[in-house]
Chains A and B, each alone.
Chain A
Amino acid sequence: MQAIHWDSFFFLFFALMTCVFAIAVVVSSNIVRMATYLVASLCGVAGLFFLAGAQFLGAMQLMLYVGGTVVLLVFGVMLTAKGPFVSMRSGGGQWIVALLVGGSLLAVLLQTVAVVQPIAKSRPVAEASADQPTTTQLGAGLVGVRTDQVGQGSGNGGQTSVYAGYLLPFEIISLHLLVVLVGAAFLARAKRRVAPREQGLEL
């Protein structure tokens, strides 16, 4: 029996975790359970990031998505639930249409994935994992010093490409976040509740 690649095993574990819980999000009808399954799926994605060599991204995924966005979603659920354990089910016809759309999209995308030529791997996984970019390399890339691309020498005389780094987009998204903070706080401010249209008695 051939030796099992332990990193393949972990990839399978995280990939199955991601996919199974993503399907569970679609299938489930209880909104809080959907949020829990989403947490598990996003944790699986974080594991995949760690396996692919993006440590900073994996930690960022855990902090932003699982620690932030899902908490936001659960808050949203709490604020918009009329009673405990609300569940709204869609009709059978809608499910058929959705599955048709999803199925055709899945077929098209899988075919595209199959067409992507497996690029010859220059290094096996074990030794390449020692080259995982740390935050130093990410930070250097922000200001324009790239460690992974040929021809980006900024110390050379005539440079053909001007690569200034990702600092400007970084600043732009920081401002964007500020705008979003203010805008979301304004949009979600407490207003006078309007009675529902269908039930005239309930206020």
Chain B
Amino acid sequence: MDLLTHSIGLSHYLIVGVVLFVCGVVCMTIKRNAVGVLMGIELVLNGANVNFIAFGSPQLAGGGSLGLDGQFIAIFVMVLAAAEAAVALAIALCFYHNHATIDVDRGNELNG
């Protein structure tokens, strides 16, 4: 009940960012579907955004906050993540056209 009675600080937000980041990394490593890997990438970028917003919030980070810089960086990260998701999905579609499957384990033509 300690969390409910005390105000939330910076480290709480950072923990959420960490969990998102790690989930994204595990998703990227474990998923065989290329679109699943893309979802992992989105989770990673969102974890980073949570970090930036937490550091940019004056009520959480107090005197050491990034101020509006955190929000600007988060804006840029969001836009670039959307752009990168579009290109990555186009690449996944190319992969599907060439291999007739979206399973990334099948992309082993360069092996050995």
Question: Do A's and B's CB atoms come within 8 Å in the complex?
Answer: yes
Residue of A nearest to B93 (CB): A188
B87 near A184 with CB under 8 A, answer yes
Least CB distance, B72 to chain A, in whole angstroms: 5
B68 near A184 with CB under 8 A, answer no
A35 near B39 with CB under 8 A, answer yes
Given A80-B93, A102-B26: A8 and B5 interface contact (C-beta under 8 Å): yes
Cα–Cα, bound, A190→B12 (Å): 47
Tell me the number of A-to-B contacts counted with CB atoms below 8 Å: 271
Interface size on B, residues (CB 8 A): 83
Residues of A within 8 A of B86 (CB): 72, 180-181, 184
Given A76-B38, A98-B29: A187 and B91 interface contact (C-beta under 8 Å): yes
Given A120-B62, A129-B59, A180-B87: A65 and B26 interface contact (C-beta under 8 Å): no
Residues of A within 8 A of B12 (CB): 11, 15
Q: Chain A 144-188 against B: per-residue CB contact (8 Å), 1 yes, 0 no? A: 001111000000000000000010010001001100110111011
Residues of A within 8 A of B74 (CB): 54, 57
Cα–Cα, bound, A128→B39 (Å): 35
Query: Which residues between 34 and 70 of chain B lie within 8 Å of chain A, taking CB atoms?
Result: 34-36, 38-40, 42-43, 46, 49-50, 53-54, 56-65, 67-68
Residue of B nearest to A46 (CB): B46
The interface of chain B, by Cβ under 8 A from chain A, is 3-16, 18-27, 29-36, 38-40, 42-43, 46, 49-50, 53-54, 56-65, 67-68, 71-72, 74-76, 78-87, 89-94, 96-103
